[in-house]
Amino acid sequence: MAHSQYLLHTPSLSSLTCATHSVPVRTLPPKTLSCRLSSYPASSSSSSHNSTSNSTPWHSKPLHFALNGALSLGLLFGGIGVAEAAKVGVNKPELLPKDFTTVIDVAGFLSDGQEKRLTEEIAALEADTGFKLRVLAQNYPDTPGLAVKDFWQVDDRTVVFVADPTFGNILNFNVGASVDLDVPRSFWNRLAGKYGNIFYWKEKGEDASIEAAVMAISSCLREPVGPNNCSEVN
């Protein structure tokens, strides 16, 4: 699941391997997240947006994020911790809802009304574009973790948005290869910087960050693909 200025403060390199229909994810110093198992230097941010990736079950390309919380993605998708923090990936299917939903709020950040609005927006986005946005609000380690991959049937047209304030920036993304082809990687940087920074969500609330990010992603994915698509974070 593939998920770029690099804001992470992860002091060590951890390679994360996912199960079938998943994407190898790892944290990289300084502040990068890669979907490839092989070593990928931090300087690779200058590589072409459409660079060819190694073949993975998820067909994902390398994508780097400006995220303080990329570790939470590593931990979500079967990862290991940084600086000896956590060495076993979380897999708690018991935290999944009984019925299918595109928004899983195990942290309790969203009201029922907010969750309903987000699910409606996500459904409309998927109907209009074919892109699948999935939202997981968590406080690590209280998360279903690896279990969401099968629950959501994540593929290369899926964006998994993990809202987790544990590591500072609340916005974390895993981006499928087809999304990567259409959306400039800088968009995820700017989105995390605008709505995910700790000052924003501390002042306005985690729910406000989540709602703003979902609407910004929806707006971006609806734009015609071109040299200037997703140039603004709405």
Q: List % helix, strand, coil for the chain (3-state, nearest 5).
A: 35, 15, 50
Determine, yes or no, domain membership for 65.
yes
Taking the C-alpha atoms of residue 67 and residue 116, their distance in angstroms, rounded to an integer, is 27
User: What was the pLDDT predicted at 76?
Assistant: 55
Determine, yes or no, domain membership for 87.
yes
Determine, yes or no, domain membership for 5.
no
What is the pTM for the complete model shown?
0.68
Do 104 and 128 contact (CB within 8 A), yes or no? no
Determine, yes or no, domain membership for 1.
no
Determine, yes or no, domain membership for 30.
yes
Determine, yes or no, domain membership for 7.
no
What are the angstrom distances between the C-alpha of 214 and each of 28, 126, 168?
26, 13, 19
Side by side, the strands of the sheet bearing 171-175 are 103-105, 132-137, 158-163, 171-175
Determine the structural domain holding residue 93 and report its residue range.
14-222
pLDDT one-digit tens code per residue, 153-205: 999 999 999 999 998 999 999 999 999 999 999 999 999 999 999 999 999 99
Q: What is the mean pLDDT of the chain?
A: 73
Determine, yes or no, domain membership for 119.
yes
* pLDDT above 90: residue 125: yes
Determine, yes or no, domain membership for 129.
yes
Radius of gyration of the chain (CA): 16
Overall number of domains in the chain: 1
Query: What CATH code is carried by the domain that includes residue 46?
Result: 3.10.310.50
